[in-house]
Amino acid sequence: MPRACRAVRGAPILARTAMCKFKSAIVTRTQVLHDPDVDWHDDLLSQFGLDDRTPHPDFVRVEMLPNNGDVFDHARRNWRLKVDQDYRPDWFHEEEAGAAVWETVQATFRSRFLTTGHLREELNYGRWFLDGSAIIKRLGDVAVVKEARGAAILRTVGDTAVVERVCGRARLGTVHDGATVKEACGAAQINRVDGSATVKALAGRARIKELGGCATVERMLEHSTIERMTDSATVGCVRDAATLRRIGGSATAIIYSRQARWSVRDHAVVICRHESPMKIAVAQSGARLDVRGAPPGRRRDRSAR
């Protein structure tokens, strides 16, 4: 029976467009090879120096997957072993391999899942999962939070750190530098996004209180809200019933939905792509002006919206 080996810590996380699923491992005759921060079999093979150029490898790629899709449900009955290759060596026994891989999964639960009662001052590497009332005071360098949910809190996200998903009632304080939030949804809240930070998707009833600097929100969907835009911030696509309460400074927003609500002032620009012909709303010197839906040559005050 293969034994669970000590995982390699601190290895770089490589971005992939299509990754293997949590939790991936390589089973050999004598041990289970894994890394708490890697779910790409090719990376594991390279990391442990295994040759993948033969049709009959002396190892087996496997994944341990949650039956209900919830990686925070750590009950053994929720997890099943999946063999991720066609060829199986004669020595491989799925039941024994499953028991050994489960040990590595439990080790990852202990080292990378932070729940109620966990407080970390700073995380600068690794892949993390947050639930309950876990708190991270600063996420930086190349650290990745795969998911923050429940009432989890990340007070500062900076450098090139990544938060892949923040949902539930989780909160982020300041997201800055070149940090990225891939998805904010549910009732999640972000206090401020600035610097060159990026939020790729804001959905559900998620909310950003202030978007400034040269920060970007690529998409606003559903009933999401940005309370205030300023500086040179940009929202690239506003759809559904999303709301931009105050667009100011030299900020820019592109609207694709008639249901969206917004207010523009200062030197900000709103491009209404849903109108035919396309219309542009520009405000200067504090005036709030709207050309959306108005006859050519006319502007109407949006102060009531």
| 272 C-beta neighbours (distance < 10 Å), count | 24
Residue with tokens 């940009």: 234
Closest-CA residue to 113 (of 99, 101, 125, 130): 130
**Token pair recorded at residue 79:** 């997890």
Domain boundaries, the chain: 3-113, 115-181, 183-305
Cα–Cα distance measured from residue 284 to residue 234, given in angstroms and rounded to the nearest whole number:
18
Cα–Cα distance measured from residue 152 to residue 116, given in angstroms and rounded to the nearest whole number:
8
What are the backbone dihedrals phi and psi of residue 227, each rounded to the nearest 5 degrees, phi first?
A: -70, -40
Identify the sign of the CA torsion 109, 117, 120, 162.
Answer: positive
Give the pLDDT of the chain (305 residues) as one tens digit per residue. 455 444 444 333 333 334 478 999 999 999 999 999 999 999 999 999 998 888 899 999 999 999 999 999 999 999 999 999 999 999 999 999 999 999 999 999 999 999 999 999 999 999 999 999 999 999 999 999 999 999 999 999 999 999 999 999 999 999 999 999 999 999 999 999 999 999 999 999 999 999 999 999 999 999 999 999 999 999 999 999 999 999 999 999 999 999 999 999 989 999 999 877 788 877 654 444 444 443 333 343 443 34
Identify the sign of the CA torsion 69, 71, 73, 77.
Answer: positive
Q: What pTM, to 2 d.p., does this model score? A: 0.86
pLDDT at 254: 96
Burial of 294 from C-beta contacts in 10 A (0-12 / 13-18 / 19+): middle
Cα–Cα distance measured from residue 100 to residue 5, given in angstroms and rounded to the nearest whole number:
9
Counts for the chain of helices (H) and strands (E), in that order: 2, 27
Cα–Cα distance measured from residue 242 to residue 125, given in angstroms and rounded to the nearest whole number:
34
pLDDT at 280: 86
Cα–Cα distance measured from residue 280 to residue 272, given in angstroms and rounded to the nearest whole number:
6
Q: What is the DSSP letter of 166?
A: B
Q: What is the DSSP letter of 234?
A: E
Cα–Cα distance measured from residue 280 to residue 264, given in angstroms and rounded to the nearest whole number:
11
pLDDT at 284: 57
